[in-house]
């Protein structure tokens, strides 16, 4: 068959998907390509990379499924925009895991004879995905334009990819934001002083110069706190170390950090809350919810908005229930983020190279 090499097309799709956001930028995904029923078919096995998954809290299982779902959404959308036909089976938590790997999805990809490859549709999608960033600095206080808010939840991708279950709420009322900020202040310190959780977070912090090419995952400390001098970075490497954080507890350092996060929530201008109907969502529903989140995050980027997840509100049962009550949600909140107008200088966010996550057999 003429046209671009099949492997090259698959690599292009993975290149687009690898920019998916993930908790702590742990990138817990791996793709193994195996031959299909014909030379024009391949099976992509998407697994949760056991060595990369976050495990410090039970609720992180949900974040891992959402993160893989974000990658899955970008991957199949890229495959479709590359002109490849694909269908998939999403796996349940109870499905057997060959070689100890946790299988999340099997995507069957076919190329047809008369196909249009690439094009503007693909280019703008890839460009948007690469430019999208988490923004943790204060947003301009101006409320986002109504059209931008409406654009956030627009549906552009097929429902077969994103499912229909994820409920989206945007909250801009200052009083509600104030209540949510109080909740953040009350519970965020819990995370900063939870030895296991904070040790795992700390392992994902990078204290070198942002953009260092040897760094392929985790979060540069400058992306959390703004531009820093090399000296300040080294100081923070020490000050944020888990045992030091424990020692600083009596001096109120973790609670001051929690207050700073709460201040950002209170300042708004908005908060996005996504929920699923079930108290214990199935793996498949979380993967589709992750795909929908990828669509929403790109919608935000296209509308000039940036997101900053505040997952600490969801990682422990007490604040999650309180959030549910404050926002009168009937379902379980699975993703919460501040949002506002994107800033012109997005932070640097490293990624593993395509070859590190794609295995072609």
Ligand X SMILES: Cc1cc2nc3c(=O)[nH]c(=O)nc-3n(C[C@H](O)[C@H](O)[C@H](O)COP(=O)(O)O)c2cc1C
Positions touching ligand X (CB under 6 A) are 21-25, 63, 66-67, 70, 133-134, 136, 219, 308-312, 347, 349
| CB closer to ligand X out of 4 and 346 | 346
Residue 101 CB, nearest approach to ligand X (Å): 21
Cis-peptide into 250, omega within 30 deg? no
Nearer to ligand X, 33 or 312 (CB): 312
CB of 277 to ligand X, least distance (A): 19
Q: How far is CA 237 from the centre of its chain?
A: 25
Residue 84 or 336: the one with the smaller Cβ distance to ligand X is 336
Edge to edge, the sheet with strand 358-360 lists 85-90, 102-110, 41-48, 29-35, 358-360
HSE-CB at 130 with a 13 A cutoff on CA atoms is: 12
Least Å distance, CB 168 to ligand X, is: 15
Least Å from the CB of residue 7 to ligand X:
26
Q: Which is nearer to ligand X, 90 or 109 (CB)?
A: 90
Closest to ligand X by CB, 255 vs 315, is: 315
List the one residue out of 101, 136, 73 whose CA is nearest residue 338.
136
| Cβ-proximal residues to 332 (8 Å cutoff; 6+ apart), any chain | 275, 276, 277, 278, 279, 280, 281, 320, 324
Minimum gap (Å) between residue 211 Cβ and ligand X: 13
- Core vs surface per residue 299-324: b (16+ CB within 10 A) or e: bbbbbebbbbbbbbbbbbeebbebbb
């Amino acid at each position: 068959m003429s046209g671009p090499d099949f492997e090259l097309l698959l690599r292009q799709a993975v290149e687009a998907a690898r920019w998916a956001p993930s908790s702590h930028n742990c990138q817990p995904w791996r793709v193994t390509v195996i031959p299909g029923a014909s030379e024009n078919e391949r099976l992509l096995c998407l697994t949760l990379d056991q060595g990369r998954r976050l495990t410090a809290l039970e609720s992180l299982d949900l974040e891992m499924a959402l993160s893989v779902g974000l990658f899955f959404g970008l991957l199949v959308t890229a495959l479709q925009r590359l002109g490849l036909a694909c269908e998939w089976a999403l796996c349940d938590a109870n499905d057997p895991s060959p070689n100890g790997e946790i299988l999340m999805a099997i995507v069957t990809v076919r190329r047809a004879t008369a196909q249009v490859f690439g094009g503007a549709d693909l280019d703008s999608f890839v460009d948007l995905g690469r430019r999208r960033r988490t923004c943790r600095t204060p947003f301009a206080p101006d409320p986002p334009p109504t059209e931008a808010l409406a654009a956030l939840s627009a549906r552009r991708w097929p429902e077969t990819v994103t499912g229909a279950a994820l409920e989206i709420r945007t909250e801009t009322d200052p009083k509600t934001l104030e209540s949510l900020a109080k909740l953040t202040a009350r519970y965020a310190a819990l995370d900063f002083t939870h030895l296991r959780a904070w040790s795992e977070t700390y392992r994902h912090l990078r204290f070198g110069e942002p953009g260092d090419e040897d760094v392929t995952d985790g979060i540069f400390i400058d992306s959390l706190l703004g531009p820093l001098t090399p000296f300040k970075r080294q100081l923070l490497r020490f000050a944020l170390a888990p045992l030091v954080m424990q020692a600083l507890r009596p001096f109120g350092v973790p609670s001051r950090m929690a207050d700073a996060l709460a201040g950002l929530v209170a300042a708004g201008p908005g908060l996005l809350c996504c929920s699923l109907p079930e108290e214990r969502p199935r793996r498949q529903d979380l993967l589709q919810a992750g795909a929908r989140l990828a669509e929403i995050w790109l919608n935000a980027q296209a509308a000039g908005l940036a997101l900053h997840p505040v997952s600490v509100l969801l990682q422990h049962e007490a604040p999650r229930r309180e959030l549910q009550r404050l926002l009168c949600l009937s379902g379980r909140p699975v993703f919460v983020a501040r949002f506002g107008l994107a800033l012109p200088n997005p932070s640097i966010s490293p990624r593993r190279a395509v070859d590190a996550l794609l295995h072609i057999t």
